[in-house]
Amino acid sequence: MEARTFGPVRFIPGPNKGKYPHCHSLFIEGAGILIDPASDRQRLAALRDNHAIRAVWLSHWHEDHFMHLDLFDDVPLAMHAADAPFLENMESFLDGYGITDTKTRKAWKPLLEDIFHFRPRQPDLLLEENQALPLGSVTIDILHTPGHTPGHLCFFFREPEVLFLGDYDLTPFGPYYGDRDASIADTKASVRRMQRRPARVWLTCHEKGVFEAAPAAVWNNYLDVIRQRRNALLAHLAEPRSMNDIVAAWIAYKRPREPLAFYRQAEQSLMTKHLEELMHEGRVVLEEKKYRRL
């Protein structure tokens, strides 16, 4: 993929179309703001060396969005207050994903340190809803869009009319809402809210990344994945299933992937959110450590 510019907004693609464990980054010319530094490490290092980067902003706290934050230890960090605690230390990070199993936590730690260069950080600036920040040639609207994480942010750049959707990425995989504090309902509400916001260009953090026409069908297909997962889970629960049985069906990820400890946790987290919702609705019961559809 090639870098693109939309007024002062520069789109910096990540390797392999920004697929996990990478993402696409943004750099705001003039303002010197780098958003989600997890694209190409060499490009970001060159940006650091050749431009005045005044701040790094995170759309949210996930590792595939801060992978190269270690290149900017001396640059002020900004994010939403609700996501800030997860970067304070490794244990808080793992708690945020809802990882309670000791073996899984142990497997995650070297991945975070070696691949994602995890270092404890605290934000120097907190970004909040309704902030309209005039920064040189661009005014940025801060949009709090919880669901994916409690403090997920989207950004609207007024002058070029560019809407940055962060991890509401409009990919065929669909939304991720597996964190301890994530929410299916909030995810739906935030995506619908961004769908209604007028823009000329839509930028996301993964895969296609750049949409220059209103992606109406893409929005609907993206949200419909939630319904598809729910229905597939209900069908699977025609017979009583343990959590291990449910994870082994790979309803969200379709097949086992490596590193297995990571993807098993992610699959279980997504299915847990659906199970919680279905039990609340009285559609599923838990009996003797097995889930069953009513």
60-79: average pLDDT: 97
pLDDT band at 216 (very low <50, low <70, confident <90, very high): confident
- Is residue 52 very low, low, confident or very high in pLDDT (cuts 50, 70, 90)? confident
Average per-residue pLDDT in the chain?
Answer: 96
- pLDDT grade, residue 50 (50/70/90)? confident
Look at residue 259 and tell me whether its pLDDT is greater than 90.
Answer: no
Torsion angle (degrees, nearest 10) of CA 193, 198, 201, 205 = -10
91-121: per-residue pLDDT in tens?
999 999 999 999 989 999 999 999 999 999 9
What mean pLDDT is predicted for residues 151-167?
Answer: 97
In this prediction, residue 199 carries a pLDDT of 97
CA 274/CA 264 separation, integer angstroms = 16
Provide mean pLDDT across the span 50-56.
91
Whole-angstrom Cα distance, residue 42 to residue 188? Answer: 36
Judged against a pLDDT cut of 80, whether residue 132 lies above it is answered with yes
Confidence check: pLDDT of 131 > 80: no
| Confidence at residue 253, expressed as pLDDT on a 0 to 100 scale | 98
Q: What is the pLDDT averaged over residues 1-25?
A: 96
**pLDDT value at residue 163:** 98
* Summary count for the chain: helices (H), strands (E): 9, 15
Q: What is the pLDDT at residue 109?
A: 93
Query: pLDDT (tens digit, 9 = 90+) per residue, 263-288?
Result: 999 999 999 999 999 999 999 999 99
Span 236-254, pLDDT tens digits: 999 999 999 999 999 999 9
Q: In sequence order, which ranges of 165-207 are alpha helices (DSSP H)?
A: 184-196
285 neighbors 291 (Cβ within 8 angstroms): yes
Q: Are strands 55-57 and 77-79 parallel, antiparallel or unpaired?
A: parallel
pLDDT exceeds cutoff 80 at 74 = yes
Supply the pLDDT for residue 136. 85
HSE (CB half, 13 Å, CA atoms) of 195?
17
| pLDDT tens, residue by residue, 184-204 | 999 999 999 999 999 999 999
H-type alpha helices, the chain: 15-18, 41-50, 63-66, 90-96, 102-114, 184-196, 216-236, 243-248, 260-280
- SS3 assignment for 51-63: CCCCEEECCCCCH
Domains in the chain (CATH in brackets) are 4-214 (3.60.15.10), 232-293 (no CATH)
Predicted confidence band of residue 27 (pLDDT cuts 50, 70, 90): very high
Q: Is the pLDDT of residue 226 over 90?
A: yes
pLDDT above 90 covers what percent of the chain? 91
